[in-house]
Structure 1
């Protein structure tokens, strides 16, 4: 009985720690810090310095950790914070939240420093994180009967399957499986961007600029979401060994690119040029059609698919996450939602890095070394600016004294 009481006291104490009050606090901080460190290691690698000997080698580690280290942490922080608003039920906090953070950290440490442990054990630790996030989401969404948010559960499940496939690729020495599983993860995060972007970008833009929010066109919404979901299914089949005609895959990518481009044009992005937290979101979403259009050309043999993938990961994923992290970290700490000094520069650096690493490199492959260097440095600078502004707010209580 005394043990139960002391455990309850410890849990209550941890719940009062500002950083443990909602998932966005620890996960946004750790994701930003981890991405800077990981990109620093990647930069050193391109200059001939081997700072790590991670599980699977540095090429695998870079692909895997930017998806299942950085991106997974941001997705978890966002979803486990947003689900509280969607359901009206308290989300993960205190000791359980810090325990989940510990699972994520254990995965990152073991992937970077495998210490001779068996590959199956490393995989088991790393694979535990996303299913736990999905379980928390499922409990809250099902309890509150908010069925429209169930879409995130199969997405998290498929992300876990993609992660498992990448680990199996390392265990069995199957580079093709690693590549196709990584592509599946990129398309799944793209699908999440399409879902979340559709919910918030038009609304944020209309509210901030005092303009009417454009009414969604049901057929266009269905086409944008449906075509992106179809791409995910197609890539899942490819990962499982089903051979699909390149022309079919390219056609699906063009359809999704066009639908999402038309969708974006209706959201009033041209009026947001004075507001970096808005044009950052519009710019990041624009890289979805850019990346998918380039990927369609890559399927037809125009250039390497990884160029298109980096349009989606740097321009789309990285920039949208930076913009959303900057906005959420203000709103959920009860601070005015405004662009802090340098955040506009950070978002601009992300978009510039994406342009250099993807379309520019596709047109001028002879400048590969420079584009790699600049895109890595731009990413690091952008997230260092975020850490400079947001570390203190994320570690301190809300300004209105409320919990969260």
Structure 2
């Protein structure tokens, strides 16, 4: 081991500056626990009548949706893209002076935002402003990599577009908070854009590129299937979904959600998950993706019943099949894969990620079934506590990896 690597091994700050995924994934690991701790306590206060629990000055569901969608998941997304963008498109590496402020800014704003939900509106606004500043730096950095790259492919453009929509959603929510008399429609639009215009296009784009790639590398005779049509079709249908939902035209959502279900089912089948269950680190990626067609089949059923009878029979079950089942499971699967690959560890599932992944499947089922239970809030509290129990060991192990040198002695 040379002197520079030895110094890095003994310096946590130098380790965090060694690669973009280290500080951003570490910040994301903190965020995984923080928001859900607040949300579980908030749900418990509503269920059990805690009179002294401080209430946010905005609807609690807005606080939950905004900080999860714009604070928790994007930390991992920035870390992933700042690591992979240069590789995807043969572009320049992202230097520490760019990725460290993004990690600190998004996490710092996120922490302030969570504190602000304890009845401190000024702190909430300040936190979201800090997050927005970090977003602008992060998106500008990714745009710079794409601009300087020699292979500006569709996956890079799609991910950058998703972050552009996310930045717009954060601006809209801040406008609702800061501008006197601003319509609550801005807040609802920000929430919808966060789900269907930001997270879902980002996740699907990364899956579109990486699942066939990982599968081909690990399964003999596997043929990659990456249809060029599916990204633009998915984008168009998702933006149409946002528009219809935002404008109160939910009875027509089936026009978007049924084709989306067909697109996602087609990808799941063409990616042949039955051939990709081993090794486990590949299998969990395909199991996590399966939640996406399940979610949109549920969306489609709900849409058709709503169009015919005017009733919402499944409540938020389809949304949480996607949010916990797909977003949560894919986060564990993909981040574990990247973490192992970039820390010199074998590309195999460790018992701790296995525990987190399996428990998260149970949490997703509990949260979906909660919509059909009479004592709904009790089961929501159970699901929130289950999320924390599932993620805590994974967070502790992941944090240790990000704060220690690679096992193979290499830099990064």
Q: TM-score, normalised by structure 1?
A: 0.85
Contact map agreement 1:52 1:58 (CA 8 A) in 2: no
Q: Name the CA distance, whole Å, in 2 between partners of 1:153 and 1:379.
A: 29
Structure 1's 109 and 61: CA in aligned 2 closer, same or farther, altered over 3 A? same
1:393 counterpart = 2:366: no
Equivalent residue, structure 2, for 1:157: 164
Q: Larger deviation: 162-171 or 131-140?
A: 162-171
Structure 1's 18 and 217: CA in aligned 2 closer, same or farther, altered over 3 A? closer
Structure 1's 314 and 193: CA in aligned 2 closer, same or farther, altered over 3 A? same
Equivalent residue, structure 1, for 2:4: none
Which structure 1 residue ranges, 5 or more long, are not aligned?
1-12
Deviations 1:331-361 (A, max 9, x none): 1122211111131221112222122212x33
Q: CA deviation at 1:246?
A: 2.7
1:183 counterpart = 2:192: yes
Q: Name the CA distance, whole Å, in 2 between partners of 1:42 and 1:122.
A: 17
Structure 1's 203 and 162: CA in aligned 2 closer, same or farther, altered over 3 A? same
Q: Name the CA distance, whole Å, in 1 between partners of 2:107 and 2:237.
A: 31
Q: CA deviation at 1:117?
A: 3.0
User: How many equivalent residue pairs?
Assistant: 384
Equivalent residue, structure 1, for 2:410: 402
Structure 1's 390 and 125: CA in aligned 2 closer, same or farther, altered over 3 A? closer
Equivalent residue, structure 2, for 1:10: none
Equivalent residue, structure 1, for 2:69: 67
Q: Name the CA distance, whole Å, in 1 between partners of 2:31 and 2:250.
A: 38
Q: Superposition RMSD on alpha carbons, in Å? A: 2.8
1:365 counterpart = 2:370: no
Structure 1 runs of 4+ aligned residues shifted over 6 Å read 13-16
Equivalent residue, structure 2, for 1:253: 257
Deviations 1:157-201 (A, max 9, x none): 111111222333445474444233212211131112221112111
1:284 counterpart = 2:269: no
Deviations 1:133-162 (A, max 9, x none): 211111111111321112222211111111
Q: Name the CA distance, whole Å, in 2 between partners of 1:371 and 1:278.
A: 31
SS of the residue corresponding to residue 47 of structure 1 reads helix
Equivalent residue, structure 2, for 1:39: 36
Contact map agreement 1:53 1:112 (CA 8 A) in 2: no
Q: Name the CA distance, whole Å, in 1 between partners of 2:81 and 2:28.
A: 14
Q: CA deviation at 1:91?
A: 3.0
Equivalent residue, structure 1, for 2:103: 101
SS of the residue corresponding to residue 314 of structure 1 reads helix
Q: Name the CA distance, whole Å, in 1 between partners of 2:111 and 2:396.
A: 24
Alignment of 1:120-199 (within 5 A): 121-148=126-153, 149-171=156-178, 172=181, 174-187=183-196, 188-199=198-209
Q: CA deviation at 1:84?
A: 2.7
1:380 counterpart = 2:354: no
Q: CA deviation at 1:120?
A: 6.1
Q: Name the CA distance, whole Å, in 1 between partners of 2:239 and 2:274.
A: 33
Structure 1's 120 and 15: CA in aligned 2 closer, same or farther, altered over 3 A? same
Which structure 2 residue ranges, 5 or more long, are not aligned?
1-9
Match for residue 329 of structure 1 among 324, 327, 339: 339
Q: CA deviation at 1:367?
A: 4.8
Q: CA deviation at 1:314?
A: 0.7
1:314 counterpart = 2:324: yes
Equivalent residue, structure 1, for 2:7: none
Q: Name the CA distance, whole Å, in 2 between partners of 1:278 and 1:353.
A: 21
Contact map agreement 1:23 1:80 (CA 8 A) in 2: yes
Structure 1's 60 and 285: CA in aligned 2 closer, same or farther, altered over 3 A? same
Q: Name the CA distance, whole Å, in 2 between partners of 1:89 and 1:259.
A: 31
